[in-house]
């Protein structure tokens, strides 16, 4: 054991602990220690390699680390490889920016090969940066060998999974409408679309009914550019539609509009007059034909026969008729398939109109909006703008469009039932994350478009024959090598694109150019991280994962993608339990974002407060599944708590070291035998803290098993602050100061040692650095070398004494109350009081106060502390009239009764009323019967007695002074001032002094001199000490002399360091 720095130096401690872990390879040793334990397979949700972590990422890893450390301490063989998500558009976009590219053409010119290399380097560099940041947080995962989605072995896992999908008939090529990013020129998944408000045109358009001049169907749309792809109008089969003859500017038109919406539409179109001349239901409308108002401008439209169809999704809004462009909308597409409508899409991959769109050709779709409006001419019934939620590419923020293209799909919609079944089998924290949130999301599951027309990703391992059209899915690299006859140097584009496979038809198969949706990468993580399919042993023994935890945004992300892929490949969920955690928000509850300027980085918190502080803060601040509002005050407060832990730990060290204390041990390894063997005979405060720390361990164990990290960490903080620092350490301080051999002292050392060791074990998952530093200093030679190699403590019932804990609660309540009463009586704690009396409501309180009486006396600085049940004879009661009750009862005589009450014997009245009787006041004619409710009673305390309520009673403190008490009070004042002067002189605790005191007041001087000279001498370690009255005698030359005013008495205190004794 060594003495330690006087305040908590987080950075220093954490640096040295991390250095130690690194040098000693502690993490590896801990893993080795539990190699034979039960397996606990954890899969790290791979962060995307952006190159920096934010508070949310830090919180995520801290939650993981805390729980995994707990499982390791419980003896589990924890398998926890870190992972990184390294492919995909975000990186492509960053690399494009670095290279100054703006489109795919730039990339093709630059060369796919070199471009891929840039992406690879970018991802790898970021991965290393992030690993360092995570390690800095004290996170113990396998960072030396993380799973990486760009590794060939990982890519194989994705290939293998796709092959499984093909075997199961779940893979399909389809011409469908997909979300499309025109900038990235690729399909994107539903999960990649971000929604926010966008201002768009809101237009009402008249579609001319075929063969009838001046008759129109009126539709509404926010995407004018989709009109060139219109093929139909949808009506609701059950709505009524009106044939309206409307007049505008003297011209008459016939319009078809849903009946209920006629007026609002006509108002928008500024029609002056109208009359309804006919009605048809949607069903009757069905089959009407019309032509496009853009038929002259868009040649494609001339070739299409347009008709009215019915659809249930039509709502009674706008015009009650929906323009249908199956090439540009999901509902439209489905309807088009059902009604056998032509699916046209005159828009290219970059969102420009093709030649089919005639005069719009080569215009970007959004830029075409005003042109379309212009060209609609009189067909434009009304034009306005609307702000509505619109989807955007989650990486480049470009508004998406819907585009019908040929893509590869996993038929997830067919798996819905199976997935729902699996979700029910998983244990969710909190329960509703699975039963409500995830369940609802899966119910909406659509087929999963897994193909992307990009570069940096896992190539889709499908080869198709150019002559016969057959396709083949490749499951492994070896299979590809065998099929192509060429060694695969890199399974990425463009290398794999060059490999051809001979087809059975004699033709040659080429790879489809697409790569996987990046969400498919991480979807296979749970088996890819186990080296599958290259090796199957780990998969067989470990899979599925015992536990995963990620943020709530991963409901639609990783929780779902994994479930989908796993259900296809293995027919079951890939995880047994899932903790869904919240988001890190700023103090106002807003998302942290660069544009709001409210971003707090983990680095800045670590730098100013330390890693353990950050960890304990995020773990205790909110329930894992609630959002975390980051608050600097809260962080600083946590630093304070850590400082108290540090103080509690360092406080006994000097004494232990001075005494050469070493805890009793068995075979060189510390164990709890000493405490265990003596538990029942320990002094009450020792037994109490032992019980408390076991209760703590029990609670923390229970909380951790339910992922209640906030409860567990709050319990630990509460224990440190309330039980250890504010109570136990206060109670045992004096025992630490005993000199020489003293059994009470040794027992205090042993108890405190036991308590700290137990506390360190249960706190180590939360605050791994400080606990390691403390443990390293406290351990004895045979002990395991790291706190993280200890065995978890679940709280031993044998070492708990609940009655004692409850009695101590009472005493603590007494302590607060007596301090309160003293404060009311303006008697400082240094001054002893004659008596404290507790008037208790229950025998338990009496029992607690008497059995722990020495603690009560000590805390209250009272000669006597006693508890009585019922009443204390020195308390009197004064009756006070309740006029509200007296008025009705006594009418005009009420004032008379009031005076009688005020002068009555309150004590007698109270005992009568308390006994349920009435009380007679006055005599003869003026005799009144007082009943309960007509009076209240106020305490009448004797002079010098002050009271305060406590749990289950009231505390009375008699602060009146006696000469004896007064002498001690002054003596304590003198001692304290000498101690302060010693400190000013920088004297060591063990140094001796010579001292003198001059007290002007002869009475006080005499009292102190007679009964306290020797006591003071001992306390201040003086070899000589004289008390003088009046002026200080000349000739005493002391190093320090100071005038003091002690409660109005002037004193001069002086002292010198004594020569060596």
Pick out residues in 948-977 that bind RNA (CB under 7 A): 972, 976
992 binds RNA (CB under 7 A): no
Is 85 annotated as catalytic?
A: yes
* Residue 593 CB neighbours (<10 A): 11
* Residue 410 CB neighbours (<10 A): 25
Q: For residue 544, give the 3-state DSSP assignment.
A: coil
Distances (CA, A) of 289 to 110, 305, 306, 539, 799: 51, 7, 6, 60, 87
Site for RNA in 819-848 (CB under 7 A): 819-820, 823, 828-831
Q: How far is the CB of 583 from RNA (least distance, A)?
A: 5
Q: Which is nearer to RNA, 627 or 1009 (CB)?
A: 627
Distance CA 636, CA 210 (A): 75
Q: How far is the CB of 411 from RNA (least distance, A)?
A: 17
Q: Which is nearer to RNA, 265 or 709 (CB)?
A: 709
Is 225 annotated as catalytic?
A: no
Q: How far is the CB of 796 from RNA (least distance, A)?
A: 26
Distance CA 320, CA 282 (A): 10
983 binds RNA (CB under 7 A): yes
| Preceding peptide of 700 cis, ω within 30° | no
Q: How far is the CB of 921 from RNA (least distance, A)?
A: 31
Give yes or no for a contact between 189 and 394, defined as CB atoms under 8 angstroms apart. Answer: no
Site for RNA in 403-442 (CB under 7 A): 432-433, 436-437, 440-441
Helices 152-167 and 558-570, axial angle in degrees (round to 10): 60
629 binds RNA (CB under 7 A): yes
| Preceding peptide of 494 cis, ω within 30° | yes
Is 594 annotated as catalytic?
A: yes
Beta-bridge partner residues of 868: 839
Q: How far is the CB of 662 from RNA (least distance, A)?
A: 21
9 binds RNA (CB under 7 A): no
- How many Cα atoms sit within 13 Å of 432 on the Cβ side? 2
Interface pattern 714-743 for RNA (x via CB under 7 A): -------x---xx--xx--x---x------
Q: Which is nearer to RNA, 189 or 246 (CB)?
A: 189
Is 519 annotated as catalytic?
A: yes
Q: How far is the CB of 34 from RNA (least distance, A)?
A: 33
Q: Site for RNA (CB under 7 A): which residue of 540, 626, 899, 914?
A: 626
Judged by CB under 7 A, which stretch of 15-23, 580-588, 671-679, 740-748 contacts RNA? 580-588
**How many residues at the interface with RNA, by CB under 7 A?**
74
Q: Site for RNA (CB under 7 A): which residue of 78, 423, 458, 648?
A: 648
Residue whose structure tokens are 């004018």: 224
Write b or e for each residue in 167-191: b if 16 or more Cβ atoms lie within 10 A of its Cβ, otherwise e.
ebebbeeeebbbbbbbbbbbbbbbb
DSSP 659: T
Site for RNA in 265-304 (CB under 7 A): none
Q: How far is the CB of 329 from RNA (least distance, A)?
A: 9
Q: Site for RNA (CB under 7 A): which residue of 52, 470, 478, 590?
A: 590
* Kind and range of the H or E run holding 581: strand 577-581
Judged by CB under 7 A, which stretch of 29-37, 266-274, 603-611, 983-991 contacts RNA? 983-991
Q: Which two tokens stand for residue 646?
A: 């540090």
Q: Site for RNA (CB under 7 A): which residue of 128, 802, 917, 980?
A: 980
Is 46 annotated as catalytic?
A: yes
Backbone angle region of 107, left / alpha / beta, with phi > 0 → left and psi within -120 to 50 → alpha: alpha
Catalytic residue among 594, 826, 884, 988: 594
Q: Site for RNA (CB under 7 A): which residue of 50, 647, 746, 794?
A: 647
Give yes or no for a contact between 246 and 271, defined as CB atoms under 8 angstroms apart. Answer: yes
DSSP 845: H
Show the beta-strand stretches assigned E in 338-457.
380-393, 401-410, 427-429, 448-449, 451-452
Is 832 annotated as catalytic?
A: no
Distance CA 698, CA 826 (A): 42
DSSP 547: B
Q: Strand pairing of 953-958 and 945-950?
A: antiparallel
* Kind and range of the H or E run holding 563: helix 558-570
Q: How far is the CB of 983 from RNA (least distance, A)?
A: 6
Q: Site for RNA (CB under 7 A): which residue of 637, 683, 844, 1052?
A: 637
Catalytic residue among 18, 21, 44, 46: 46
458 binds RNA (CB under 7 A): no
Q: How far is the CB of 27 from RNA (least distance, A)?
A: 31
Q: Site for RNA (CB under 7 A): which residue of 198, 490, 1019, 1041?
A: 1019
1047 binds RNA (CB under 7 A): no
Site for RNA in 162-191 (CB under 7 A): 190-191
Where helices occur in 706-801 by DSSP H, the ranges are 709-718, 729-736, 743-763, 768-778
Is 872 annotated as catalytic?
A: no
Q: Which is nearer to RNA, 572 or 726 (CB)?
A: 726
| Residues acting as catalytic residues | 46, 85, 519, 554, 558, 591, 594
């Amino acid at each position: 054991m060594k003495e330690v720095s006087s305040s908590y130096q987080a950075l220093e401690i954490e640096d040295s602990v991390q250095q130690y872990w690194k040098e000693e390879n502690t993490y590896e040793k801990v893993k080795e220690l539990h190699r034979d334990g039960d397996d606990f397979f954890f899969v790290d949700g791979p962060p995307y390699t952006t190159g920096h972590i934010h508070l949310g990422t830090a919180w995520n890893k801290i939650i993981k680390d805390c729980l995994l450390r707990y499982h390791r301490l419980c003896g589990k063989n924890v398998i926890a490889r870190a992972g990184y998500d390294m492919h995909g558009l975000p990186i492509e976009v960053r690399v494009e920016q670095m290279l100054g590219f703006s489109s795919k053409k730039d990339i093709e010119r630059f060369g796919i090969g070199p471009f891929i290399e840039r992406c690879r380097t970018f991802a790898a560099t970021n991965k290393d940066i992030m690993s360092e940041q995570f390690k800095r947080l004290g996170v113990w995962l396998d960072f030396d060998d993380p799973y990486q989605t760009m590794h060939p072995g990982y890519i194989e896992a994705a290939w293998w999974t796709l092959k499984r999908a093909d075997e199961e008939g779940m893979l399909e090529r389809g011409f469908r409408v997909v979300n499309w990013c025109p900038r990235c020129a690729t399909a994107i998944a539903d999960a990649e679309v971000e929604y926010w408000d966008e201002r768009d045109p809101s237009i009402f358009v008249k579609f001319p009914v075929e063969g009838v001049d001046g008759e129109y169907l009126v539709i509404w749309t926010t995407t004018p550019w989709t009109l060139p792809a219109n093929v139909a109008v949808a009506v609701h089969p059950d709505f009524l539609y009106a044939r309206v003859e409307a007049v505008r500017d003297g011209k008459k038109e016939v319009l078809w509009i849903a009946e209920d919406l006629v007026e609002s539409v006509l108002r928008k179109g500024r029609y002056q007059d109208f009359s309804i001349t006919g009605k048809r239901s949607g069903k009757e409308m069905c089959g009407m034909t019309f032509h496009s108002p853009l038929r002259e401008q868009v040649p494609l439209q001339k070739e299409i026969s347009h008709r009215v169809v019915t659809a249930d999704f039509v709502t009674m809004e706008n015009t009650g008729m929906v323009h249908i462009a199956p090439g540009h909308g999901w509902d439209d597409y489905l309807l088009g398939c059902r009604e056998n409508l032509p699916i046209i899409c005159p828009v290219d991959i970059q969102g420009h109109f093709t030649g089919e769109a005639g005069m719009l050709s080569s215009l970007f779709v959004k830029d075409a909006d005003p042109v379309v409006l212009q060209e609609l001419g009189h067909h434009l019934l009304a034009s306005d703008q609307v702000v509505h939620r619109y989807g955007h590419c989650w990486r480049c923020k470009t508004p998406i469009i819907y585009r019908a293209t040929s893509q590869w799909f996993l038929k997830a919609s067919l798996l819905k039932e199976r997935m729902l079944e699996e979700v029910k089998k998983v244990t969710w924290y909190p329960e509703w994350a699975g039963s409500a949130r995830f369940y609802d999301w899966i119910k909406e599951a659509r087929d999963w478009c897994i193909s992307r027309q990009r570069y940096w990703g896992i190539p889709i391992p499908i080869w198709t024959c150019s002559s016969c059209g057959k396709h083949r899915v490749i499951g492994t690299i070896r299979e590809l090598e065998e099929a192509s006859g060429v060694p695969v140097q890199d399974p990425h584009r463009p290398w794999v694109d060059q490999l051809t496979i001979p087809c059975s038809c004699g033709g040659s198969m080429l790879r489809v150019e697409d790569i996987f949706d990046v969400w498919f990468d991480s979807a296979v993580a749970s088996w890819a991280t186990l080296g599958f399919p290259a090796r199957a042993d780990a998969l067989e023994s470990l899979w599925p994962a015992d536990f995963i935890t990620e943020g709530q945004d991963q409901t639609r992300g990783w929780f779902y993608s994994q479930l989908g892929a796993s259900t296809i490949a293995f027919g079951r969920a890939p995880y047994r339990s899932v903790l869904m955690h919240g988001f890190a928000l700023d103090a106002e509850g807003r998302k942290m974002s660069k544009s709001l300027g409210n971003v707090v980085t983990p680095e800045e918190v670590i730098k100013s407060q330390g890693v353990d502080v950050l960890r304990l803060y995020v773990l205790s601040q909110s329930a894992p599944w609630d959002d975390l509002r980051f608050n600097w005050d809260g962080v600083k407060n946590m630093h304070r708590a850590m400082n108290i832990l540090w103080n509690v730990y360092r406080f006994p060290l000097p004494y232990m070291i001075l005494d050469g204390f070493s805890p009793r041990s068995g075979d060189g390894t510390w164990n709890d035998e000493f405490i265990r063997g003596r538990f029942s005979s320990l002094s009450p405060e020792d037994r109490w803290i032992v019980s408390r720390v076991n209760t703590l361990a029990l609670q923390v164990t229970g909380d951790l098993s339910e992922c209640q990290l906030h409860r567990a960490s709050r319990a630990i903080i509460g224990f440190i602050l309330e039980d250890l620092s504010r109570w136990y350490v206060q109670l045992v301080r004096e025992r630490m100061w005993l000199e020489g051999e003293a059994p009470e002292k040794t027992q205090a050392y042993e108890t405190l040692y036991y308590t700290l060791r137990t506390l360190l074990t249960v706190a180590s998952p939360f605050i791994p650095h400080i606990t390691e530093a403390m443990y390293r200093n406290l351990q004895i030679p045979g002990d395991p070398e790291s706190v993280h190699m200890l065995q978890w403590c679940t709280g031993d019932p044998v070492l708990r004494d609940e009655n004692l804990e409850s009695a101590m609660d009472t005493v603590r309540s007494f302590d607060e109350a007596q301090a309160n009463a003293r404060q009311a009586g303006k008697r400082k704690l240094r001054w002893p009081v004659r008596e404290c009396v507790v008037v208790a409501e229950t025998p338990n309180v009496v029992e607690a106060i008497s059995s722990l009486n020495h603690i009560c006396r000590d805390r209250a600085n009272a000669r006597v502390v006693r508890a009585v049940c019922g009443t204390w004879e020195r308390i009197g009661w004064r009756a006070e009239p309740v006029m509200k009750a007296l008025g009705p009862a006594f009418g005009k005589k009420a004032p008379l009764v009031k005076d009688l009450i005020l002068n009555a014997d309150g004590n007698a009245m109270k005992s009568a009323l308390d006994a349920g009787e009435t009380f007679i006041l006055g005599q003869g004619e003026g005799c009144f019967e007082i009943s309960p409710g007509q009076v209240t009673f106020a305490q009448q305390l004797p002079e010098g007695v002050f009271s305060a309520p406590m749990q289950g009673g009231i505390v009375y403190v008699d602060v009146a002074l006696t000469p004896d008490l007064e002498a001690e009070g002054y003596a304590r004042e003198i001692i304290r001032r000498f101690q302060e002067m010693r400190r000013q002189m920088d004297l060591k605790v063990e140094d001796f002094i010579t001292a003198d005191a001059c007290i002007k007041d002869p009475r006080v001087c005499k009292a102190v001199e007679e009964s306290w000279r020797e006591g003071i001498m001992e306390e201040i370690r003086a070899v000589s000490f004289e008390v003088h009255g009046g002026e200080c005698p000349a000739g005493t030359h002391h190093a320090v002399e100071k005038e003091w005013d002690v409660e109005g008495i002037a004193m001069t205190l002086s002292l010198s360091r004594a020569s060596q004794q």
